[in-house]
Amino acid sequence: MQIQILGTGCAKCKALEESALEAVKNIETDCTVVKVTDLDEIMNMGVMMTPALAIDGEVKSAGKVLSPEKITEYIKENE
């Protein structure tokens, strides 16, 4: 499973990445966290507000920083 953090590297994007890394660590699942910073790629995924979180290419959230607990819920839904 691949968790994608979509954003250009702002403070909120970094906070979302930290939440995702914490979620992955807490549930000990086989996930990789990848940062997507290319604006064309972000827009091609239909995201107009960053930060955004996608799992295996499916956008789950845009425009806000999610808690590790919420990201964990999304991961479990996709297992």
How far is the CA of 59 from the CAs of 46, 70, 73, in angstroms?
Answer: 8, 14, 14
The single residue of 13, 31, 42, 55 carrying the catalytic annotation is: 13
Is 10 considered catalytic here? Answer: yes
Which range marks the domain in which residue 48 is found? 2-77
Total structural domains within the chain: 1
How many other CB atoms are found less than 10 A from the CB of residue 16? Answer: 27
Is 31 considered catalytic here? Answer: no
> What is the CATH number for 47?
3.40.30.10
Q: CA torsion angle for 21, 23, 28, 34 (degrees, to 10)? A: -40
User: What is the average per-residue pLDDT within 64-68?
Assistant: 97
The single residue of 1, 2, 8, 10 carrying the catalytic annotation is: 10
Read off the pTM.
0.92
pLDDT tens string 26-44? 887 889 999 999 999 999 9
